[in-house]
Amino acid sequence: MEPVIQVTELSKTYSHAQKKAVDAVSFCVNEGEFFAFLGPNGAGKTTTISILTTTLAKTSGSVTNAGFDLDRATRQNRGKVVIIFQKPSLDLNLSAEENIRFHACLYGMFPYRPAFSLMSRAYKDRVMELAEIVGLKDSLRQPIKKMSGGMQRKLEIIRSLIHQPDILFLDEPTQGLDAVSRRNLWEYINRTRKELGTTVFLTTHYIDEAENVDTVCIINQGKIEFTGSPEQMKETLLRRELLLDAADRAALEDELKSMSVGYTIGKHIVVPTAGGVSAQKIISGLKTPLSYLNTHEPSLEDAYVELIGQKEGTAAMKRGSMFDFTARSARERLA
Amino acid sequence: MSTIITSGMQNRFLREINAIITIAARDVTITVKSPATLALTLFMPLMMMGMLGGSLAQNMAGGLGFDYKQFMMVGMMVNMLFMTVTMGITSITQDRITDFTQEMMVSPISRYSILLGKIAGASAGAILQLSGTIVVALLMGIHFSIWQLLSFLAISPLLCLAAGAFGVLIVAFVKTPNAANIIVMLIVMPQMFLSGAIIPINHSSGVLFVLSRAMPMTYCLDLARSVFYAGTPDYSNVVLFNPAICVMGIVTLSVFFLVFGTFFFARSETNR
C-alpha cells in the first residue's frame, strides 16, 4: 500500500513556548488505513492534526498528504482532507441544516442556494441519510443555540461526512456522544472506509474505539512512543494472565512453586501465561480445589495505560502490586 | 449503502465564486436573523442623523450656501456603509472565538475568497441597513430624487470594497472582538469628523487638512457626493476632488489593504 500521509521529522514550537509541542515526529499512514493517534492530554495530538490539516504552521519537518506537499500544494491538500475538530466549530447563529449547507458549498460540492428546498436532490438525500444515521433528522431546522452539546457534535459529524474525502481526520469525534450514536457513527465510518477506501486518522480518549484500527501510534510529551498494530502493542507491553484462588491458598502456592510457575499475589494469585506457559497445562496440573478461576485478556487500554504510566512513573502506583510483575517485564522488553 | 457524491464543481473559478457567495450569504442570513442588527438599522440613523445632524442643521448650518441636511444625509449614508462593513469584517474575530474560522480555513478555497466573501456579505447587509437611513431622512423632510438615490446605490459596492479592505487590514493584526471593536471605533469615529461626513472640510488647514486627506473615507465621501450632486448647482460647493482621483484613490488603497491584510490575516491564523 502507498503511504497517503507521510510525516518526517515534524516539529512545532508555539510562540513564546520554551518546549516543543511536537518533537521530530515521523510516521506514515497507508492508503485506506485506519490509523489511531493516541496520547494523554497535552501530548501533541491536536497540534499534529492541526498541522496535517493546514490550520497550524509547523516549525520544521515535512508533511505529504494524499501526494501533495503541505508547503507547496496547500490548497490541493485541503481538497483531499476533511476534519472533525476537537472543539465544536459551528455557527451558532445558523440552523443545523444551514451549517451543513455552508460547509458543502464552501467545499464546492454543490452550488449555493438560499434555502434547503432549492438545493439539489443529491444534497437533500445525503443530508437526510446522514441525519438519520446520527438521529438528527427531526432537528435539522432547529437553531444550533437550542441544541445540546451531544446534538451539536452529531451535526458536526454530518457536516464532515457530507462529502467523501480521501483522508478523514477525526479529532476526538465521539466526545459528548451517547452510546447509541457512538456505535452508529463507527458503523457508518467503517462502512464508508470499506466502500470508498477512505483513510481515517483518529485521535480519541476512548481507547476501546482504537481496538479495531490497523495501526496505533502513541505520542507522549511530543514524541512518538510506539507505532504498530493494536495486537503488537498488547503483545509487547502486556501478558495474558491466569487468575486463580483457593480456600487453601498456601496449598495452591506450593503447587505452583512445584510446577516452577511464577506468580504474584494481589486480590487473587496472578500467573502470567505468555512465553510458553500454558494456562491449560497449569489448570490440569492443579489438585487444590479452586475457589476462583479467570483469565485476563489485556485490552488496548491496558497496554496504553501501561505505556503512558511507565513514562510518567505512576503505573505501579495506580495499579497496585498485582501488576508489578507485568509492568517490570514490559519495561524490560521495551528496553 | 451511503449516497455516493460524484458530482461537485470542477472548475476552480466557479468553486471560488460559489465559496464567496456562500460566505456572503451566511453574513446576510445572520444580519437578517439578528433583532439587534435590525434595531440598530433604525436607531443609528435616528441618533446620528436625527439628533446629531438635526441639531447641527438647526444651530450651526446657516450661511453654508447649500442644503446642509442633504449634505449630511449623504455623509451619514457613507459613514453607515463604512462602519457597518468594517464591523462586519471584524466579526471574523468573533468567529475565531467560536472556532468557526477553522471551518473556513481548512476548506480548499483561496484566502482571498474567504475575505472577499466576508466583504460581500457585510456589504449586502450594510446596503440593506441603508433603508433605515433613508426612512429617517424622509421623516426629517430631506429631499432627494430617485435618480440620486440610485446613483448612490450604484457606487456603493465600491465604497463597501474600500471599507471591507480596511476591515481586512484590521483583522490581520487584531485577534479579539473587544480589541477589534475598540479599533473600529477609534478609526471610524474620527473619520466621520475629519473626512467631512457631517462637517464640511473645504476650509480645513494644518494637521486637520493632512489628516482629512489621509482618511480613506474622505475619497469615498467625495465620490458619493460627486455622484449624488452631479448636475446640481451645489456640486462645486460640496465636492472637493475630481471623481477620477477619488476612484483611483479608493481602488489603490483597497487593493493595498486587501493584499497586505489578506497575507497577514492568513499568516496570523496559522502562525501561533
ipTM, interface predicted TM-score of the complex? 0.83
Which of A297-311, B190-204, B219-233 bottoms out in mean pLDDT, i.e. has the lowest?
A: A297-311
Report which secondary-structure segment, H or E, holds A332: helix A324-334
Q: Give the CATH number for residue A264.
A: 3.30.70
Q: How far is A129 from chain B (nearest CA, A)?
A: 8
pTM of the model: 0.79
Last residue of a domain, one of A228, A244, A260: A228
A281 and A173 in a common domain: no
The residue range of the domain holding A130 is: 3-228
Joined together, the cell numbers standing for residue A217 give: 501510534
Last residue of a domain, one of A228, A258, A284: A228
pLDDT (average), residues A269-296: 84
Q: How far is A58 from chain B (nearest CA, A)?
A: 8
Residue A91 three-state SS = coil
A306 and A257 in a common domain: yes
Instruction: Verify whether the Cβ–Cβ distance A93 to B33 is below 8 Å.
Output: yes
A12 and A55 in a common domain: yes
Answer for the pair A307, A333: CB distance below 8 angstroms, yes or no: no
Mutate: best of B9, B32, B107, B263, partner A, most A CBs <10 A: B107
Q: What is the pLDDT of residues B226-263, one digit of tens each?
A: 999 999 998 988 999 999 999 999 999 999 999 999 99
What band does A322 get if pLDDT is binned at 50, 70 and 90? very low
Instruction: Verify whether the Cβ–Cβ distance B8 to A94 is below 8 Å.
Output: no
Joined together, the cell numbers standing for residue B150 give: 440610485
Kindly report each contact of residues A140-145 with a partner whose C-beta sits within 8 Å and lies 24 or more positions away, as own/partner: A140/A95, A140/A96, A140/A97, A140/A100, A140/A116, A141/A95, A141/A96, A141/A97, A142/A95, A142/A96, A143/A92, A143/A94, A143/A95, A143/A96, A144/A90, A144/A91, A144/A92, A144/A93, A144/A94, A144/A95, A144/A96, A144/A99, A145/A92, A145/A93
Joined together, the cell numbers standing for residue A135 give: 438521529
Mean pLDDT rounded to a whole number for chain A: 84
Instruction: Verify whether the Cβ–Cβ distance A85 to B105 is below 8 Å.
Output: no
The number of domains in chain A is 2
Which of A269-273, B78-82, B146-150 bottoms out in mean pLDDT, i.e. has the lowest?
A: A269-273
Question: Does residue B3 form part of some domain?
Answer: no
A239 and A222 in a common domain: no
User: What is the number of CB-based contacts under 8 A between chain A and chain B?
Assistant: 119
Angle between helix B243-270 and B111-139 (nearest 10)? 130
Torsions phi, psi for B236 (to 5 deg):
-70, -20
Answer for the pair B26, A113: CB distance below 8 angstroms, yes or no: no
A140 and A163 in a common domain: yes
Last residue of a domain, one of A212, A228, A244: A228
The residue range of the domain holding B169 is: 13-270
Instruction: Verify whether the Cβ–Cβ distance A109 to B103 is below 8 Å.
Output: no
Count other Cβ atoms within 10 Å, centred on residue A211.
Answer: 15
Q: Give the CATH number for residue A206.
A: 3.40.50.300
Question: Does residue B7 form part of some domain?
Answer: no
Within an 8 Å CB–CB cutoff, is residue B5 touching chain A? yes
Instruction: Verify whether the Cβ–Cβ distance B5 to A122 is below 8 Å.
Output: yes
The number of domains in chain B is 1
Within an 8 Å CB–CB cutoff, is residue B32 touching chain A? no
A294 and A149 in a common domain: no
A222 and A143 in a common domain: yes
A263 and A150 in a common domain: no
Of A57, A102, A108, the CB nearest to B15: A108
Answer for the pair A3, A28: CB distance below 8 angstroms, yes or no: yes
Q: For cell 473626512, what's the residue? A: B195
- Taking only residues 76 to 95 of chain B, the set having a beta carbon closer than 8 angstroms to any beta carbon of chain A reads 95
- Give dist(CA A169, CA A37) in Å, integer: 10
Q: Is A260 exposed, middle or buried (0-12, 13-18, 19+ CB in 10 A)?
A: exposed
Q: What is the pLDDT of residues B9-35, one digit of tens each?
A: 778 899 999 999 999 999 999 988 888
Question: Does residue B261 form part of some domain?
Answer: yes
Instruction: Verify whether the Cβ–Cβ distance A109 to B107 is below 8 Å.
Output: no
Question: Does residue B2 form part of some domain?
Answer: no
Question: Does residue B237 form part of some domain?
Answer: yes
Q: Which residue of A has its CA nearest to B5?
A: A163
A127 and A221 in a common domain: yes
What pLDDT sits at residue A310? 67
A277 and A214 in a common domain: no
What pLDDT sits at residue A329? 42
A315 and A167 in a common domain: no
A157 and A55 in a common domain: yes
Instruction: Verify whether the Cβ–Cβ distance A55 to B15 is below 8 Å.
Output: no
Proportion of chain A in helix, strand, coil states, percent, rounded to 5: 40, 25, 35
